[in-house]
């Protein structure tokens, strides 16, 4: 865009916004004049913004952590027990299903994933802690838990285990080369995996399926991850799998599992309602604060504003003035709240191990909610101007 076009576009915006008109742009002068009130207003709105961000951040982190396993699946299709409603329920499938699925035309390979709770003891400590253990073939790696070569090399060693470096720090210092006990069996930490805790699980280890089956030769997988032959039609293979496998087996894509996990978490634990109520509370608090601040401003300036009414300024002017102030407070409060939220996310991520991340969508949502709440607060405050009778000046 050439500078002259940019200037013309800018001028057009300025005209539309009323810039340069004598009755516009007063909001900044009023908002910035009383520093104490400005600090209280932006601080209050920032607090409401922070509440909304924390609620949304926790919601996203919980949903993200609960569905993280689905994101680790490295395959085209997954077979699971059809009675299994979510990934944190370990209803298993007979191991023979892996072979049956692998025999279906179009399937290149079927890899079992084992999962169970174990008790981990880090020998310097006497206490044991519950941990989730996954097992898989280190060569084919149906779960992406780290650098494939390192994972492959680590899991090929006897009695080797990968420790999830995102685990909460309740397990004590664990580093490669250290010996740990899982359900009383001794293992060597051969490296780290990246899985991440959730609201129930504090940490995880990954074993080779060989080590798992040597401990329990009858162990059954919680899922089978299928990779298709190059060029195979996913829908057709899926249909063949459904026809070939008994009805106790569900066939899903990793993406479908991810969505099902999100839906299940929303449904089973009503966190959507809980955190939604938190966000709404934050927005409500913000609207009340904005209203209270602007209402006080209107009351304090009653004589001055009544004078302007007596001079002939109409309701539109006053509404615009109050809303200008509301939007400025919203902008200031949002920016401060955003910075505070980023700091709080860092703290919460460290304290809980949950993946607290600022997403553009969440920031946009909170920005819109902030604008809406201050708009409503401003409109209610502006309504009081209608009750001012300029004749009362005399």
Q: Which residues bind another protein (CB under 8 A)?
A: 20-23, 26, 29-30, 32-34, 301, 303-304, 306-308, 310-314, 317, 390-391, 393-394
**CA–CA gap between residue 82 and residue 89 (Å, rounded):** 12
Which is closer to another protein, CB of 264 or CB of 313? 313
Which is closer to another protein, CB of 116 or CB of 296? 296
- End-to-end Cα distance, the chain: 57
Q: Number of C-alpha atoms within 13 angstroms, CB side, residue 44?
A: 22
Which is closer to another protein, CB of 76 or CB of 325? 325
**CA–CA gap between residue 259 and residue 270 (Å, rounded):** 16
Cβ partners under 8 Å of residue 289, min gap 6: 41, 44, 45, 47, 48, 377
Nearest distance from C-beta of residue 321 to another protein, angstroms:
10
Which is closer to another protein, CB of 55 or CB of 324? 324
**DSSP code string of 226-242:** EEEPTT--HHHHHHHHH
Which is closer to another protein, CB of 168 or CB of 302? 302
Residue 268 is encoded by which pair of tokens? 């089973």
**CA–CA gap between residue 374 and residue 215 (Å, rounded):** 62
Which is closer to another protein, CB of 33 or CB of 347? 33
Nearest distance from C-beta of residue 319 to another protein, angstroms:
14
Nearest distance from C-beta of residue 310 to another protein, angstroms:
5
Q: Evaluate whether 221 touches 98 at the Cβ level (below 8 Å).
A: yes
Nearest distance from C-beta of residue 383 to another protein, angstroms:
15
Q: Evaluate whether 142 touches 113 at the Cβ level (below 8 Å).
A: yes
Nearest distance from C-beta of residue 301 to another protein, angstroms:
7
Nearest distance from C-beta of residue 311 to another protein, angstroms:
6
């Amino acid at each position: 865009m050439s500078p002259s076009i940019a200037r013309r576009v800018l001028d057009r915006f300025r005209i539309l916004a009323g810039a340069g008109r004598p009755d516009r742009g007063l909001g900044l002068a009023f908002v910035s004049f009383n520093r104490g009130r400005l600090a209280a207003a932006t601080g209050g709105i920032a607090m409401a913004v922070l509440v909304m961000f924390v609620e949304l951040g926790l919601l996203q982190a919980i949903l993200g952590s609960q569905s993280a396993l689905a994101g680790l699946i490295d395959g085209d299709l997954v077979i699971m027990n059809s009675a299994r409603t979510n990934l944190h329920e370990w209803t298993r499938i007979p191991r023979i299903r892996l072979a049956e699925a692998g025999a279906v035309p179009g399937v290149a390979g079927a890899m079992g994933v084992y999962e169970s709770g174990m008790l981990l003891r880090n020998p310097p400590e006497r206490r044991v802690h519950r941990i989730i253990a996954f097992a898989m073939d280190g060569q084919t790696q149906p779960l992406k838990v780290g650098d494939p070569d390192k994972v492959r090399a680590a899991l090929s060693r006897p009695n080797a285990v990968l420790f999830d470096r995102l685990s909460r720090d309740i397990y004590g210092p664990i580093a490669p080369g250290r010996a740990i006990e899982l359900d009383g069996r001794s293992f060597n930490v051969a490296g780290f995996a990246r899985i991440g805790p959730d609201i129930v699980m504090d940490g995880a280890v990954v074993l080779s399926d060989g080590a798992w089956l040597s401990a329990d030769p009858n162990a059954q997988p919680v899922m089978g991850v299928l990779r298709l032959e190059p060029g195979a039609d996913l829908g057709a293979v899926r249909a063949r799998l459904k026809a070939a496998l008994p009805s106790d087996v569900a066939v899903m894509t990793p993406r479908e599992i991810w969505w099902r996990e999100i839906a299940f978490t929303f449904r089973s634990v009503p966190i959507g309602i809980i955190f939604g109520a938190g966000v709404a509370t934050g927005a409500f608090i913000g609207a009340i604060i904005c209203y209270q601040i602007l209402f006080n401003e209107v009351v304090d300036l009653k004589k001055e504003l009544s004078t302007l009414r007596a001079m002939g300024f109409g309701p539109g002017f006053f509404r615009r003035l109050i809303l200008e102030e509301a939007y400025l407070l919203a902008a200031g409060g949002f920016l401060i709240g955003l910075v505070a939220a980023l700091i709080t996310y860092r703290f919460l991520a460290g304290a809980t191990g949950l993946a607290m991340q600022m997403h553009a969508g969440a920031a946009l949502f909170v920005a819109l909610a902030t604008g809406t709440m201050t708009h409503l607060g401003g409109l209610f405050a502006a309504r009081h101007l209608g009750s001012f009778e300029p004749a009362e000046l005399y």
